[in-house]
Amino acid sequence: MSAIVYVIRNGSQWKDAPTGYCPPKTLYSHFIRWRWLGVFGASWPTSPATGSDRRAS
């Protein structure tokens, strides 16, 4: 899951995930399955790409 979090938070492509994890296709497959199950909806109520989850300083 760490590699998936890394890719999502950094806006990277699956092929750019840190080495030492499973292949990019496997990471993507896990992401799709977990997204369908709602795993990431509970973790991130808003999209990290929008910046709407950041607090104003």
Q: Write the pLDDT tens digit of every residue in 1-57.
A: 788 888 888 888 988 888 888 899 999 998 899 888 887 776 555 555 555 545 444
pLDDT at residue 7, rounded to an integer: 87
Q: Which residue from 3, 48, 40, 49 is spatially nearest to 25, judged by alpha carbons? A: 3
Phi, psi angles (nearest 5°) of residue 22:
-70, 170
Cβ atoms of 43 and 4 within 8 Å: the answer is no
pLDDT at residue 25, rounded to an integer: 92
Q: Cα–Cα distances in Å, from 14 out to 6, 49, 52, 57?
A: 10, 16, 23, 32
Cβ atoms of 1 and 7 within 8 Å: the answer is no
Mapped onto helix, strand or coil, the DSSP state of residue 52 is coil
